[in-house]
Amino acid sequence: MSRATFPDERAVSWKVLLPQGPEDKVLALGVDGDGLLGLRRTFPRLDVTPANGPYDLVILGDGCGAAIFDPHDIIGLLRDDGVLVAIGKAARGDYHNGIALSLYKSYASLPIEHPRIFVPLDSRRAALDGLSVHSPGSWRAQAALSLAKALRRLGLQWHLRRNVVNFYRRVEADACKGGLLEWLSQSLGYSLTDLVVYAGSESMRRKITALALADEGHANVVVKIADSPHGAEAIRQESEALAALADTPLASHVPRLLLEGQHNGYTIQVQTKASGKRYRQIARLTGDHFQFLYRLTMMSRQEVKVEDTMAWNDLKVAAEDPSYEGMPDYMLAVLNRILSGQCAQMKIVCNRIHGDFAPWNIRANRRQFFVFDWEDSQPLGLPFTDVFHFLYRQASLIGPWHMAGRLLSEMKQAATILSQLTGIPVEQVEISLQIWALREYLAHPSDHIGEVLRQIAGGSW
């Protein structure tokens, strides 16, 4: 069975820090194919060999190394007010010594091999705030992050300079002028000092997320940036969910939408972040999780036929798609069962769901339980699917994986608890679980979800 694959554009997520827009002329040298695709989403007028200079922006990718291009030649390709970006190995080149070019911004790229976070290097506060927001699930990543923060608190940053993105200008200029930071400051009505950029996923609905650091007396905010129609749709979907939650008992547990707009070809959303510190990622479902989901399931509750749900119709479309020929027999067995007239006509209680209720989208401490990333939320989602999603994502992506039988048992137990709280019939757990597993397989095929579906198909759960 064929699968859609999406380019991994995350290594060029730093592009949102640039003042340039879609009308500017760009030259990219030594950037790989996925990176070029990510840059082209923002800069349609992009060359990969010098052709139509001078350029508003010249990018030297990691493939350039430090000695391939003479600095004087590179500078000659730039407009007087242009920007040069040097990444990784290229950033070791000497582009400003003896030449009228200034290094005006430098960002650490973490982790070194496959950068996903871009942290400002000229401010200890910015680096610590940026590193503190990131909350990895694995103990190795947690240990590495703790060490990085401890070294930065001591005033050390050699560990952050092992892979950097440097920004140079030919002339002295306000580093923020014309860029996202200036636009955000003007839109919010107070000054923001810097951005920490998080690359997001490689999915079709990918968004770049930034932590915007505010002046003293104002709160930092979360900025989501989309440079594709699919990403923009995800932002609109999240905005609708946050608006629906704004005047409910859950309002203090979710971000508040501050603004949504357009800048330099990007769709931009700004929302509040969790207040306080010492948040942790919780790997198991607790009473706080169940109480939150109980309140969520009380929203827009409605009994509908299974065939009228978005999830069922997604499966029907997938079954008719020729690209899905050759589905494993066990998957076909479950799919045919769900698409049968008997299942299609069943009535099921649907309600508001989060859609990506995973440990890394939740922050908790003694005082607060905060849930973010609502772009997959649906007003009429299948019941219990948030607990299925939580347990599966933790087991499959973070681990340990204890086999599908044990996971299914945990899913049914968690769904039963939620059924008792919400009054949604426990008999609806089985059909919701089957539909959820099929959709998870179609969206993110893996051996783990395949194992879950084999168990379901065999009836041994």
- Per-residue model confidence as pLDDT tens digits over 225-279: 998 999 999 999 999 999 999 999 999 999 999 999 999 889 999 999 887 666 7
| Residue after which a domain boundary falls, among 122, 139, 174 | 174
Residue 4 lies in a domain: yes
Q: How far is CA 169 from CA 18, 96, 176, in A?
A: 11, 9, 12
Predicted local distance difference test score (pLDDT) of residue 28: 94
Predicted local distance difference test score (pLDDT) of residue 124: 81
Most confident of 20-24, 311-315, 365-369: 311-315
Predicted local distance difference test score (pLDDT) of residue 3: 47
Total domains present in the chain = 2
Residue 131 lies in a domain: no
Structure tokens, 402: 């204890």
Rounded mean pLDDT, 341-367: 92
Structure tokens, 149: 């923060």
Q: Which domain holds residue 91?
A: 1-113+161-174
User: Do 170 and 293 reside in the same domain of the chain?
Assistant: no
Higher-confidence residue: 281 or 94? 281
User: Do 293 and 428 reside in the same domain of the chain?
Assistant: yes
d(CA 148, CA 159): 7
Rounded mean pLDDT, 278-299: 90
Residue 282 lies in a domain: no
Q: How far is CA 232 from CA 24, 211, 329, 386, 410, in A?
A: 22, 18, 37, 23, 35
- Per-residue model confidence as pLDDT tens digits over 325-341: 677 888 889 999 999 99
Q: How far is CA 127 from CA 91, 196, 445, in A?
A: 19, 8, 36
Residue 25 lies in a domain: yes
Residue 28 lies in a domain: yes
User: Do 170 and 302 reside in the same domain of the chain?
Assistant: no
Most confident of 125-129, 349-353, 360-364: 349-353
Structure tokens, 5: 């694959």
d(CA 436, CA 419): 17
Predicted local distance difference test score (pLDDT) of residue 439: 94
Q: Let me know: does 165 contact 85? Beta carbons within 8 Å.
A: yes
Rounded mean pLDDT, 146-173: 78
Residue 96 lies in a domain: yes
Model confidence at 80, in pLDDT bands (50, 70, 90)?
confident
Model confidence at 212, in pLDDT bands (50, 70, 90)?
very high
User: Do 450 and 319 reside in the same domain of the chain?
Assistant: yes
CB neighbours of residue 426 within 10 Å: 15
Predicted local distance difference test score (pLDDT) of residue 189: 93
pLDDT at 66 over 60: no
Higher-confidence residue: 66 or 51? 51
Model confidence at 176, in pLDDT bands (50, 70, 90)?
low
User: Do 38 and 170 reside in the same domain of the chain?
Assistant: yes
| Residue after which a domain boundary falls, among 139, 174, 209 | 174
User: Do 293 and 433 reside in the same domain of the chain?
Assistant: yes
Q: What percent of the chain has pLDDT over 90?
A: 58
Residue 156 lies in a domain: no
Most confident of 11-20, 164-173, 411-420: 411-420
User: Do 170 and 291 reside in the same domain of the chain?
Assistant: no
Q: Let me know: does 121 contact 96? Beta carbons within 8 Å.
A: no
Classify residue 58 as left (phi > 0), alpha (psi -120 to 50) or beta.
beta
- The CATH number for 42's domain is 3.40.50.150
Predicted local distance difference test score (pLDDT) of residue 171: 67
| Residue after which a domain boundary falls, among 151, 174, 197 | 174
Q: Let me know: does 412 contact 368? Beta carbons within 8 Å.
A: no
Predicted local distance difference test score (pLDDT) of residue 364: 86
- The CATH number for 306's domain is 3.90.1200
- Per-residue model confidence as pLDDT tens digits over 97-145: 555 678 888 999 988 888 889 999 887 877 777 777 766 666 677 677 7
Residue 84 lies in a domain: yes
Task: Give every strand in the sheet of 192-198, ordered side by side.
Answer: 46-47, 26-29, 55-60, 78-87, 164-169, 102-110, 117-120, 192-198, 208-214, 221-226, 266-272, 257-263
- 257-263 vs 362-364, strand pairing mode: unpaired
Predicted local distance difference test score (pLDDT) of residue 8: 87
Q: How far is CA 64 from CA 61, 91, 170, in A?
A: 6, 9, 20
Rounded mean pLDDT, 181-200: 92
Nearby residues of 138 by Cβ (< 8 Å), 6 or more positions away: 398, 399
User: What's the whole-number average pLDDT of the chain?
Assistant: 87
User: Do 313 and 438 reside in the same domain of the chain?
Assistant: yes
d(CA 149, CA 141): 12
d(CA 100, CA 170): 6
pLDDT at 95 over 80: no
Q: What percent of the chain has pLDDT over 70?
A: 90
